[in-house]
A and B are shown apart, each in its own frame.
Chain A
Amino acid sequence: MAFLEISGLRKRFGSLEILKGIDLELEKGGFLVLVGPSGCGKSTLLNTIAGLETITEGTIRVDGRAIDDLHPSKRDIAMVFQSYALYPNMTVAGNISFGMEMRGVPVEERKKAIDKVAKVLQITHLLDRKPSQLSGGQRQRVAMGRALVRDPKLFLFDEPLSNLDAKLRVDMRIEIKRLHQATGTSIVYVTHDQIEAMTLATKIAVMRDGEVQQFGTPAEIYNNPKNLFVADFMGSPAMNLLTATIEGGGNDLHVSLLRPEAEPLRVPVPQIGGLAAYSGKQVIFGIRPEALTDPDGADRNAKSLFEGDCLIDVVEPAGSDTFAVTKLGGKEVVARLRADARIAPGQTARLAFNLDKAVFFDPQSQQRIG
């Protein structure tokens, strides 16, 4: 049995349904990331796990015990908030020990616990300061300290890194991962940042409009998106999604992609179950930028590689890679080339399509084909 089990969870405000039947589970010691655009219900879902919002239907179980009627403080959880939610009138030590104080833990014990946590997070020298005297990263640590000191069954993180600057965000992300590896505590983590999701999670739930679009490991989500939304949402730069027509049949199935100042590009597609039925119809052809590269940089192990000439619109050297923008199927398409790839805007360049990584979606249902 899973450690955290959410089943049939619904939440309504009047006639407005914010969570529309969520089913998720997480193994003990797992790291579940809820990701989605704002308004998708991910924070609401986290709040219902915390007990800060009630649920209309369904159950939440932790370690086999239903917790959905318990007060937040009785659920054996700890939460780190987006704004850190440090009590401004209390010192760092006061912040960390407030929960213990509320539970009536004796002063001596509290002190010991504070010292222990402070040592782990290296904030011992900050214990007497007020939150206003701390930097963003220090506040983040104190917020984690407040969560750690409870030694909870489940950690909840509500976009904890979104208030930090880019560099600090990366540092803290690593810190959180290290913390997870060290303590082995189960974590539920909300973010709208898909890189955080990919790097931290053992399981990702991509949400939209109160529904889980796909639930799986980071690799599954990235490589096998179940629908157009997941494909589009996960990955940066985003997956190229082109409208194309399937042509041919049998062993010669291909899509034809319009390109400026040239014949349409005929790209052969691999045998994917169900795709043949679309012959003569439109599909959405999805290919990630890294699967569209200069021929020399292409994956040598790929089973089906296709090379085609494309007119390059814009070149963006990003240091580690060079991104090239071209027009295919009437849309802008981003290709990810090696940094030293020789390429110039306004010229035609040969690009390699790694079709092992290509995915196809039905334009009506937006679901994956095959």
Chain B
Amino acid sequence: MSTVTTPEISLTPERSTRTSLRSRLQDALPKIVLAPSFVITLVFVYGFIIWTGYLSFTNSKTFPSYAITGARAYQRLWRWTFESDPPSSWYTSITNMGIFGFLYIGICLGLGLFLAILLDQKIRGEGLLRPIYLYPMALSFIVTGVAWKWFLDPGLGLEQTLHQWGWTSFHFDWIKNKDFVIYTVVIAGVWQASGFVMAMFLAGLRGIDGEIMKAAQIDGATTIQLYRRIIIPLLRPVFLSAFIVLAHMAIKSYDLVVALTSGGPGGSAWLPSNFMYEYTFKRNEMAVGSASAIIMLMTISAIIVPYLYSELREKSR
């Protein structure tokens, strides 16, 4: 193609001076078709975010109140951030978020890459194994939660099974332990998402130019060197997209905590999303709930906005 391609190339005639009303309507048709979706997004996403932001500066309790009363909700959250003994719900939520986010993302990436590399060794039965690693992604967090709740239950699940098999000293009651319950959320979360990360890495591995690897082999690289020095660095874009997906799933996780732990003993498994829901709908602290939602949004935006910006800018070149 020899056209000078610019992002603005359009098939729509822009000159309307000499055209009739009918053809002007024709020209506007694409925009008319897109408009409802865009307006819906503007109102129901951006408008609502502003609305929530507004509510966080009021003293709304059970019902919204629209008199601005300042940043009290944020001040309270700030104070709670440092209230570690006894921990405030907010303190628990954000520490859990840190633990969960770090482990969930880290383990999913590690395990996903590991499985992908194993599967990439010309495995017979790959077609059978891949779907096995991936199926948890089709399940809802609620079903995942129910399954693991049962599996991790000290009286019924894994612990009891091992006792029956004779390992009577085995002790595993994290799901009932307020200090460890968040780790069970990590386990269930990793189980659900790591297969998906594996699929992303596998696609990435399959996309690597085979000639690069032949060249590395001729240069005398061992298998481990090949992966460490050539292949894994080439997978950088996959790491990035997987990180983005996992990070936004981690911050949005709400259902899993509810279904797996019902919030854990004394709310000890809460994530900020649970905090928001509880404070808004159960504890009648709408302003605080809104403030926490805004903080969640800011956190995600800090990750997503630069990513989307660079992606879209690249694309329009």
Contact = CB atoms under 8 A, between A and B. Distances in A.
Q: Do A and B come into direct contact in the complex, CB within 8 Å?
A: yes
B19 A16 contact: no
A367 interface: no
A204 to B, nearest CB: 15
Interface residues of B, number: 15
A18 B4 contact: yes
B24 to A, nearest CB: 12
A190 interface: yes
Contacts of B11: 52-53
Interface in B12-29: 13-15, 18-19, 23
Nearest to B5: A39
Nearest to A41: B4
Query: Which applies to chain A's interface (DSSP): helix, strand, loop or mixed?
Result: loop
Interface string B280-308: 00000000000000000000000000000
A47 B4 CA distance: 12
Nearest to B17: A69
Interface string A65-76: 000010100000
Q: Sort chain A's interface into a size bin.
A: 20 to 34
Contact of A36 (B2, B8, B13): B2
B287 to A, nearest CB: 46
Nearest to A192: B2
B15 A43 contact: no
Tell me which of B3, B6, B9, B14 has the highest count of chain A C-beta atoms within 10 A of its own C-beta.
Answer: B3
B1 interface: yes
Nearest to A52: B11
Contacts of A36: 2
A44 interface: yes
A54 B13 contact: yes
A43 B9 contact: no
A36 B2 CA distance: 9
Given A13-B8, A54-B13, A71-B23, A39 B2 contact: yes
Interface of B: 1-4, 6, 8-11, 13-15, 18-19, 23
Interface of A: 13-14, 16, 18, 36-44, 47, 52-56, 69, 71, 82, 159, 190, 192
13 contacts: A16-B6, A39-B3, A41-B2, A41-B3, A41-B4, A43-B2, A44-B3, A47-B3, A52-B11, A53-B10, A54-B13, A54-B15, A190-B2
